[in-house]
Amino acid sequence: MKVVILCGGKGLRLKTDNDSIPKPLAMVKGKPIIWHIMKQYSKFGFHEFILTLGYKGEKIKEYFMNYEWLNFDFEKDYGQNKINLLQQPENWKITFIDTGTNTMTGGRIKRIEKYIDTDTFMMAYGDGLADINIPELLQYHKQKGKVATVTGIERKSLYGILTVRDGIAESFEEKTKLEGIVNGGFFVLNKGIFNYIDNNDNCIFEKQPMAKIADEGELAVYPHKGQWIAIDTYKDLLEANKSWRVQDF
């Protein structure tokens, strides 16, 4: 089963120390965000990936073209012009698709429709980390029998909450009140999802397509209680480097 990773956004609010790289290559605990995501899937036996490239997509191509010598010990036999890796590399098969610099998420997904050859596939954003049990997520999707399953994350308020009546505080809760369930960015999708997405580069998956799926009762929500980090700003990246617990791969 293929895993689609959306890698095309500009990430203008990230402002890393090296703005010449796309957000999926921002470093968390010494490895790019996309490496952590792909290792999470391959840990459970999912090794086929489709990367939807956009902003500075050539940098992502360069990273994987140079992946072996960047990440493994090796010996180089100059006499025979051979390189022998001293560790076993990942069993990854990666399809790199340029989906346009300014294309929105829905447009990027629509552009890879022809590369999906199974009834079900998985999808994730290239800027989020989670210790999700992928087989459990997949099983949940099958049990619900809907077109799409999204990982739901319960978000708590970042600020203290005051309950006020007539100008007087009735209660105060310090950073405990739930704001609601948000899109955690890890999906299982049936191929029928493409029927909901306009063939338009300006189509935003999280707006009209997801709203329509939900209105029709075709959107399941898998509750994830474990670790989850959305990396949208430079502050988020700093926090990820402090708090992300690198998985046992």
Secondary structure element (H or E) that encloses residue 106, with its range: helix 105-111
* DSSP β-ladder status, 161-165 and 120-125: unpaired
Q: What is the pLDDT of residues 81-106, one digit of tens each?
A: 888 887 888 999 999 999 999 999 99
Distance CA 170, CA 37 (A): 44
Distance CA 187, CA 151 (A): 6
Please state the rounded mean pLDDT for residues 8-24.
Answer: 71
pLDDT value of position 168: 45
Cα distances (angstroms) measured from residue 47 to each of 44, 65, 90, 104, 173: 9, 17, 8, 26, 44
Going by C-alpha positions, the residue among 141, 234, 125, 228 that lies closest to residue 190 is 141
Distance CA 26, CA 33 (A): 6
Does residue 122 surpass a pLDDT of 90?
yes
Distance CA 131, CA 116 (A): 25
Q: What is the pLDDT of residues 177-199, one digit of tens each?
A: 556 788 999 999 999 999 999 99
At the topology level, CATH places domain 2-72+83-152+181-243 in: Spore Coat Polysaccharide Biosynthesis Protein SpsA; Chain A (3.90.550)
Distance CA 174, CA 176 (A): 6
Domain ranges of the chain: 2-72+83-152+181-243
From the centroid of its chain, how far is CA 219?
A: 18
Q: What is the pTM of this model?
A: 0.88
Please state the rounded mean pLDDT for residues 38-66.
Answer: 96
pLDDT value of position 80: 85
pLDDT value of position 244: 93
Distance CA 29, CA 5 (A): 20
Amino acid at 97: I
